[in-house]
Amino acid sequence: MHPTLWVAAWVLLLKGCAMGQATQAASARTDVRDCSAEPPYLPPTATNTTARLAALRATMRAHGVHAYIVPSTDAHMSEYIAERDSRLGWLTGFTGSSGTGVVTQDKAALWTDSRYWTQAERQLDCNWELQRTIWVKSIGQWILEAVPVGGNIGLDPFLFSIDSWNSYSQALHGSGRTLLPIETNLVDQVWGDERPPPASSQIYSLPAEFTGSSWQEKVARIRQDLEQHTRHPTAVLLSGLEETAWLFNLRGDDIPYNPVFYSYTLLTNTTISLFVDEARLAAGARQSLRAGCPGPLCVELLEYGRARAHLHQYTQGNVTVWLGTEYTNYGLYGVIPQEKLLEDSYSPVMLAKAVKNTKEQELLRAAHVRDAVAVIQYLLWLERTVPQGKVDEFSGAQHIDALRRAQEHSRGPSFQSISASGLNAALAHYSPSNRSSRKLAVDEMYLLDTGGQYLDGTTDITRTVHWGVPTPLQKEAYTRVLMGNIDLSRLIFPPNTAGRTVESIARRPLWDVGLNYGHGTGHGIGNFLSVHEWPVGFQSNNVPLTAGMFTSIEPGYYRDGEFGIRIEDVALVVEAQTEHQSGEEPFLTFEVVSLVPYDRNLIDLSLLSPEQIRYLNTYYETIRARVGPELQRQRLEDEYHWLQQSTEPFPLASAATIATTMATTALGMLPIASLLSALLPGLQA
Amino acid sequence: MHPTLWVAAWVLLLKGCAMGQATQAASARTDVRDCSAEPPYLPPTATNTTARLAALRATMRAHGVHAYIVPSTDAHMSEYIAERDSRLGWLTGFTGSSGTGVVTQDKAALWTDSRYWTQAERQLDCNWELQRTIWVKSIGQWILEAVPVGGNIGLDPFLFSIDSWNSYSQALHGSGRTLLPIETNLVDQVWGDERPPPASSQIYSLPAEFTGSSWQEKVARIRQDLEQHTRHPTAVLLSGLEETAWLFNLRGDDIPYNPVFYSYTLLTNTTISLFVDEARLAAGARQSLRAGCPGPLCVELLEYGRARAHLHQYTQGNVTVWLGTEYTNYGLYGVIPQEKLLEDSYSPVMLAKAVKNTKEQELLRAAHVRDAVAVIQYLLWLERTVPQGKVDEFSGAQHIDALRRAQEHSRGPSFQSISASGLNAALAHYSPSNRSSRKLAVDEMYLLDTGGQYLDGTTDITRTVHWGVPTPLQKEAYTRVLMGNIDLSRLIFPPNTAGRTVESIARRPLWDVGLNYGHGTGHGIGNFLSVHEWPVGFQSNNVPLTAGMFTSIEPGYYRDGEFGIRIEDVALVVEAQTEHQSGEEPFLTFEVVSLVPYDRNLIDLSLLSPEQIRYLNTYYETIRARVGPELQRQRLEDEYHWLQQSTEPFPLASAATIATTMATTALGMLPIASLLSALLPGLQA
């Protein structure tokens, strides 16, 4: 799936371009708002926010707040959030997964990244200005202009990570404006009874066959991390929902697409406190957690809402609490005295979770084989039905979801399927709806970015296809995106390499001809957890790549108003076999575990180097060897045949390659002549 | 020249390896200390520091300091420093350009990076432990273990940048130890009369023909930056010596190899204060600076030592001071109230200086043509004299220095020449001395990393050569280093690309076979200023690459105890010609301005791709076109002939390439057969 965070430089780079194009097209388009028209034009997709804003402004006045910041996340910095936490969505109408709103008495603005600019223009009404950047500096600047010296900038401290709180603090530093934490959320006050209730569904233990190790083993390992750290922390605070779910091998469904549940954990060297709605725990789960009571492996169950008070009490003692500043909220952080804090970007649980053990690797590999079956079924189905004009983006998305659900251990999609035809795919993030869904056609490209949750693993794959005759630019761009995917996938690199320092390898074939893409190149992924699993990936705040990590590799290319391309696979970091070795540890490379062939119709073989073709052929052999038997087991004979056709080896030396070799200098002709005489001994006779 | 800062990950990576090798070799080597021997063994290159340490410790006791930190830099964070500022060198005996010493009552330790580990083992006595890392976290950890809670950690606030001060502050945060700024330098107290006196030589104006614009134009431009900044700063504080030298087009020789002079500048929107020893200003320089008096372009000349007091007074008013936190010292920073600070990594002067205008580009290009002449003379001279056994590393370094000095506008070398034969080149940084100098031999590799100061520009180039039969590994490693150099040099990339995200391109050919190098990939360079000019380059703290910036590109490979390879060129960032364009601004690429051919004897052509060979041939055409006429102008006929030979185009299709193409799959043979029939129509008849 599309990466969440974008390299800031690309966002800046693309900003001007996309803005220019939006302006040009504005008058001709009826799907986006036009606030400069008289009267302002709003598409049917926009939400009227006038009453909500008026109510919020009244509450702000009551609290003496001059600007109020509304982020898109929840108290756990979750990427996907429950409806109940969709405060920004309710207030603005904008339903993109990432954004920030700021409201003053006479202004309101929304900041979001380039994935969502068009979507925002479709969903916002004219109460809101759209800011095409995500930099806190820019938000701070806007606030400085909108709020006079002496003003209060209000926010809910539970909805800001330590790092983002600090960014706001720095942006307003020395400006005479005060950052004012208000524990009562003002949007919730206004939302009132209409706000959805808390989740009530069951929280359950993952069967042992689907876990890499028992929760007791995981606890022991983290306690070892505590002991071995030079600062000797006494506890680790888990604020990310995946941290608690992973640690205890528990799952729930409080949040769409992510099998997690609202919780915090305080794991100390002697105790374990799990803050959760105890009534929701399945009997088996409760039994597992309480089996070690009393003792160091007894899990004390406490109310979710008690986390802050408990932490406050715990930190009265001679303790040191270790936490991850990237995602722990400022509301909890604020109760811990500075000298009792051990701050890292990520907790040791996040880092342990990121490196999958052998069993977890096998589980994830197995999930990807079944996932490939569903995607292959879908691609073949498209080939048959698209020419009949029977498929649109929405029905296509429903079909791939259904095919996945039919696979063993399926627990539904891992994110909202992106099924985008023609120009819609140029919105790197786009999901069709019942209301607006473009028909798939043989003369347009189609981009499918989908994934599944299975008890053994989470998947995420993007394929772009064309059933007719692609334009030369489409073919060149697709091939260059593929070359980037291949070059990064086959990269050999030293241990301790940060993803951000090598992701240019995936961009280079596009850069060569002046093309690029405006998003990151990949993200970690979980074992039946999040489809975007931090801190793995190719962004600046990701940790170095280590054997056992899984990451997506997903270059793309988007041409506004025309088409979009993305080719995404999930890959496991593995040890590489190299002739030499610098350093004590082996070099690393990737093993691609997504197993679906690329569209041959879009590949311009003459652009590929022999090494790229060789890699592709080896990858196709792997697909055949691993997915072929599963297709046969499932008696999918047509799909098996399709797979064999689609994975035929490519000729290593294409006509173009030979032509290049022949069109050489006079000096270069010499060896060719020698070779010719060797190949054709009769010639000279 | 070797880059100053190293990607931390590589340092860590190489640490284990190099340590292992050092341990293995320790017993057999007499050139390094062996503190575990009985009695400890010290080579003649080590300095006895017992008395100095005893004196420092007494002073520390008098100041109530439990640990004292001694950095290797001066108050301007200069990379090269005057003898007078070589406190670390005097105290430890270690003369490497980068390191940190910490002394307690019973311990002393030196931290330095991998370039200097062997040198440190040669120069330190057994009073000092060597720490093979440069992380402040590691220094902090050592201090926490060595100094009990309640202890004071003393340091000279003028010798620490704001950023490094903050790093120490963070490393000791909440630990119960206090970071104690002491304005009297304790090492200076102990050094006493033996400390060299301050510089007294003349400070002069650069002739207009060698400047890109007048100092008045530069001042106007920086004042415009002040005005246009959203925070509306009223002044910029210049603490880097190159900042003041560049701004006023002044030069001096207070520091070896860098034509700068001790100074600070406070440039406000209405005044200009230059803190310098006025008596040292040449008449013309003084006149130029005072020509605009009184008025906004009048330079007020104040004593160097008055900077802190003047800044204190200025910041009593309603002002905002803009400064660069990477290199402004904490001693000055500390007098500015927080709310009157505008902090960036680099001042606007640093950023303006980094982007050369058209005239500055032409000047730098011209300097590189004459520099190439000197290097070519040297390479030919080596070819003739090395076989006779007449050259050693030291006499070689003297010869290249002399050849450069003979070129027009020369002002001597831009750094101490690195002239390293055989295993000495494995020390990525190595300079020969009179006392220890290895003979150059036809059966060893030789690495030459040298540069010149010219009135029109600063140069820096590394060539590695072999006059006999290189081993297969030497040839492969050299070729892969060259491939990395070529691949980065010909890279096309979008505007706003950070160097650190693309330097892996230069490493990839080495990574492919498990090799790597433990230093950065390049650094900025000045117009008759520093050979390492921040903030340009490929490190994590460098700014994005912009057209008009110059950077070195210098991958390498080092095999401890055997040989070392580095291939370094200086390149200008220029706009690229691309078929398409994403974004509003053109993509960028490099124009290599170093103009000396590589050693053909070390290139394994079969490893190069056709694109790499094509690039190489085009580069060689440029060398011929630009250096050839200059060689003829200087009547260097032999060198001209040598250049023609050395830049013969390489055959585009090497035997190996063709062989690869032919050794193809059955499918791949088809187009070959067609081509054969097209080429040889008579064959089928």
B56-70 per-position pLDDT tens digit: 999 999 999 999 999
Least confident segment among A590-604, B343-357, B614-628, B651-665: B651-665
The arithmetic mean of pLDDT across residues A479-498, rounded, is: 98
Closest residue in chain B to residue A668, using alpha carbons only:
B651
pLDDT at B684 over 60: no
- pLDDT at position B428, please? 62
Nearest by CB to A13, from B495, B514, B659: name it. Answer: B495
Show Cβ contacts of residue A296 under 8 Å, excluding neighbours closer than 6 positions: A270, A271, A272
* pLDDT reading at A139 higher than 90: yes
Whether residues A665 and B651 touch (CB distance < 8 A) is answered with yes
Of B511, B658, B667, the CB nearest to A494: B511
Q: Which pLDDT value is given to residue B28?
A: 60
For residue B230, give the nearest of A141, A582, A659 by CB distance. Answer: A141
In this model, does residue B647 exceed pLDDT 80?
yes
Query: B-chain residues within 8 Å CB-CB of A675?
Result: 655, 658-659, 662
Better pLDDT: B99 or B681? B99
Among the partner residues A174, A498, A508, nearest to B338 by beta-carbon distance:
A174
pLDDT at A677: 40
| A511 touching chain B per CB within 8 A | yes
A107 to chain B, any CB pair closer than 8 A? The answer is no
Q: Which residues pair with B273 in a beta bridge?
A: B266, B300
Report the residue from A14, A491, A496 with minimal CB separation from B13. Answer: A496
Find, in chain A, the residue whose alpha carbon is nearest to that of B651. Answer: A668
Which residues in chain A are contacts of B492 at CB distance < 8 A? 511-512, 514
Take residue A326 and report the two structure tokens written for it: 């990237």
* pLDDT given at position A24: 41
Please give the average per-residue pLDDT across A477-501, as a whole number: 97
Task: Report chain B residues whose CB lies below 8 A from the CB of A492.
Answer: 511-512, 514
Is a pLDDT exceeding 90 seen at residue A679? no
Q: Which amino acid is at B40?
A: P
The verdict on A660 touching B (C-beta cutoff 8 Å) is: yes
Which of B6, B512, B565, B589 to mutate to probe the A interface, most A CBs <10 Å? B512
Which pLDDT value is given to residue B292? 95
- Supply the pLDDT for residue B350: 97
Q: What is the per-residue pLDDT for B71?
A: 97
Q: Is A471 on the interface with B (CB under 8 A)?
A: no
Evaluate if residue A110 carries a pLDDT over 70.
Answer: yes
Nearest CA-CA partner of B87 in B239, B196, B163: B196
Categorize the per-residue pLDDT at A73 as very low, low, confident or very high, splitting at 50, 70 and 90. Answer: very high
Mean pLDDT score, B305-313:
97
Q: What distance in Å separates the CA atoms of residue A420 and residue A428, rounded to the nearest whole number? A: 9
Query: Is 90 exceeded by the pLDDT of residue B19?
Result: no
Chain A CB within 8 Å of residue B672 CB: yes
Report CB contact under 8 Å: A653, B676. Answer: no
B661–A667 C-beta distance less than 8 A: no
Q: Are B578 and B587 in contact (CB under 8 A)?
A: yes
Per-residue pLDDT, averaged over A644-649, amounts to 98
> Is B581 near chain A, with CB under 8 Å?
yes
Average pLDDT over residues B286-295: 96
Residue type, B121: E
pLDDT band, very low/low/confident/very high, at A428 (cuts 50, 70, 90): low
- Give the residue-averaged pLDDT of A158-187: 93
- In this prediction, residue A25 has a pLDDT band, given cuts at 50, 70 and 90, of very low
Task: Determine the pLDDT at residue A107.
Answer: 97
Task: Answer whether A655 sits within 8 Å of B668, measured CB to CB.
Answer: no
In chain B, positions 197-256, which contact chain A (CB-CB < 8 Å)? 230
Mean pLDDT of B434-448: 91
Does residue A75 surpass a pLDDT of 80? yes
Q: How far apart are CA A541 and CA A538, in angstroms?
A: 8
Residue from A504, A519, A577, A605 to probe the interface with B (highest B Cβ count within 10 Å): A504
Using a CB–CB cutoff of 8 Å, tell me whether A678 touches chain B: no
Among B10, B493, B668, the residue with its CB nearest the CB of A651 is B668
Q: Of A57-71, A421-435, B489-503, which range is least confident?
A: A421-435
Decide which of A651 and A655 is more confident: A651
Q: Is A341 on the interface with B (CB under 8 A)?
A: yes
Residue A382 CB contacts under 8 Å (≥ 6 apart), including other chains: A391, A396, A440, A446, A465, A467
Nearest neighbour of B514 by CB, restricted to A141, A578, A675: A578
CA angle A552, A557, A558 (to 5 degrees): 125
Task: Report the percentage of chain A scoring pLDDT > 90.
Answer: 84
Note whether B570 contacts A: Cβ–Cβ < 8 A.
Answer: no
Residue among B501, B662, B670 whose CB faces A675 most closely:
B662
**Percent of residues, chain A, with pLDDT higher than 70:** 91
A661 and B661 in contact by Cβ < 8 A?
Answer: yes
Tens-digit pLDDT profile for residues A370-397: 999 999 999 999 999 999 998 999 999 9
Whether the CB of A618 is below 8 Å from some CB of chain B: the reply is no
Q: Do B501 and A500 touch (CB under 8 A)?
A: yes
pLDDT of residue A3: 53
pLDDT in tens, B223-244: 999 999 988 999 999 999 999 9
**A580 in reach of chain B (CB within 8 A):** yes
B228, B232, B235, B237 alpha-carbon torsion, rounded to 10°:
-80
Using 50, 70 and 90 to split pLDDT, how confident is the model at B3?
low
Nearest-CA residue of chain A relative to B505? Answer: A505
Q: Give me the residues paired with residue B569 across strands.
A: B553
Closest partner residue to B583 among A16, A497, A586, by Cβ?
Answer: A16
Q: What is the helix, strand, coil percentage profile of chain B, to 5?
A: 40, 20, 40
Give the dihedral of Cα atoms A87, A93, A97, A100; nearest 10 deg.
Answer: -60
| Nearest Cα residue in chain B from A653 | B668
Residue B106, Cβ neighbours under 10 Å: how many? 7
pLDDT in the model for residue B1? 65
* Contact state of A516 with B583 under an 8 Å Cβ cutoff: yes
Task: Tell how strand B235-238 and strand B250-251 pair up.
Answer: unpaired
Using a CB-CB cut-off of 8 Å, the residues of chain A touching B512 are: 492, 578
| Mean pLDDT score across all residues of chain B | 91
Between B157 and A679, residue with greater pLDDT? B157
Contact across the interface for B491 and A505, Cβ inside 8 Å: no
Cβ contacts from A onto B, under 8 A? 203
Residues 6+ apart with CB under 8 A from B388: none
- The pLDDT-based confidence of A488 (bands split at 50, 70, 90) is very high
Tell me the nearest-neighbour CA distance from A587 into chain B, angstroms: 6
CA B145 to the chain's CA centroid: 33
Is A662 part of the contact surface with chain B (CB cutoff 8 Å)?
yes
Q: Name the percent of chain B lying above pLDDT 70.
A: 91
Asked if the Cβ–Cβ distance from A493 to B502 is below 8 Å, we say no
pLDDT, position B97: 84
- Dump the DSSP string for A408-456: TTEEEESS--EEEEGGGGGSSS----SSS-PBP-TTSEEEEEE-EEETT
Q: Report the pLDDT averaged over residues A297-315.
A: 97
SS3 B173: coil
Cα dihedral across residues B233, B235, B236, B239: positive or negative: negative
Contact of B141 with chain A, judged by CB distance below 8 Å, is answered with yes
Q: Could you tell me the pTM of the whole model? A: 0.87
pLDDT at B216 over 50: yes
DSSP-derived secondary structure for B418-476: EEEEGGGGGSSS----SSS-PBP-TTSEEEEEE-EEETTEE--EEEEEESS---HHHHH
- Mutating which of A545, A580, A611 best tests the B interface, going by the most B Cβ atoms within 10 A? A580
Set of chain B residues whose Cβ sits within 8 Å of the Cβ of A578: 512-514
CB distance A613 to A652 below 8 Å: yes
Band (B355; pLDDT cuts 50, 70, 90) = very high
